[in-house]
Amino acid sequence: MKKIILTLVLIQTLGQVSFAQDRYFTREGSVSFFSATPIENIEANNEKLQSVVDVSTGAFEFAALIKSFEFDKALMEEHFNENYMESNTHPKANFRGNIENIADLKAKNYPADATAVAKGKMTIHGVEKDVEIPAQLLKDADGIKVVCKFNVNPEDYKIAIPNAVRDKIAKDIEVNVEALLKSMK
């Protein structure tokens, strides 16, 4: 009887270990955005992106605190947080969804030329929207590197841009996400 119980505990433990090896996580990812305009470029970086991917199911998630975006100009950062993103009311932006073609990526061992397709919900400024994000997942010795590039339209997320500065902000903002996710052991 003890051998049966020990065997069951061992099987359960091994199952949890292999499950954990399918999940990858980071708190040190990078997200940046860029808006090119004839008057002034607007750029910010955030090195505290949190992300998790479960390669067994394709579940994919990332989140960033709005106040963690850093600008070259302090006044621009202040306006971003107070006037546009209202970061005290809407403190974070996140995406939660699934990588639709995870099985193909795993079967081909995450080739550099393959594009993952993540479909899910993006929440920015308290507004949730269905989105599709192209990404690359690259497996290496340290884990899985995730690289995404997509555009966000501030109006889609009810971010009010005053008419006086509307020409200073592009209609679509380019967003770049890059993170090395390590195995959750």
pLDDT tens by residue, 156-175: 999 988 777 777 677 899 99
- CATH number, domain at 37? 2.40.128.110
The model's pLDDT over 34-92, given as tens digits with 9 standing for 90+, comes to: 988 777 888 999 999 999 999 999 999 999 999 999 999 999 999 999 989 999 999 99
SS3 content of the chain, % helix, strand, coil (to 5): 25, 45, 25
Give the confidence band of 119 by pLDDT, cuts at 50, 70, 90: very high
164 vs 95, which has greater pLDDT? 95
What count of other Cβ atoms lies within 10 Å of the Cβ of residue 167? Answer: 12
Its domain, for residue 146, covers 24-183
Give me the number of domains the chain comprises: 1
Q: Report the C-alpha gap between 144 and 91 in whole angstroms.
A: 27
Q: Is 7 within a domain? A: no
Question: Per the domain annotation, does 117 fall within a domain?
Answer: yes
| Residue 5, domain member (yes or no) | no
135, part of any domain: yes
Q: What is the average per-residue pLDDT within 16-31? A: 77
The percent of residues in the chain predicted with pLDDT above 70, rounded, is 88
- Is 136 among the domain residues? yes
Q: Which residues contact 109 (CB under 8 A, 6 or more apart)?
A: 139
CA 93 to chain centre: 9
Is residue 54, in this structure, part of any structural domain at all?
Answer: yes
Geometric angle at alpha carbon 56, from 51 and 58, rounded to 5°: 50
Calculate the alpha carbon distances from 165 to 32, 106, 169 in Å. Answer: 21, 46, 7
Q: Would residue 10 count as lying in a domain? A: no
The residue count of the chain comes to: 185
pLDDT band at 20 (very low <50, low <70, confident <90, very high): very low
137-160 pLDDT, tens per residue?
998 888 999 999 999 999 999 998
Q: Is 31 exposed, middle or buried (0-12, 13-18, 19+ CB in 10 A)?
A: buried
Would residue 11 count as lying in a domain? no
pTM of the model: 0.83
Q: DSSP assignment, residue 38?
A: S
| pLDDT at residue number 66 | 98
Q: What is the mean pLDDT of residues 101-116?
A: 90
Q: How confident is the model at residue 21 (pLDDT cuts 50, 70, 90)?
A: low
Please list, in sequence order, all residues whose beta carbon lies within 8 angstroms of the beta carbon of residue 20, skipping any fewer than 6 positions away.
183, 184, 185
Residue 132 pLDDT greater than 90, yes or no: yes
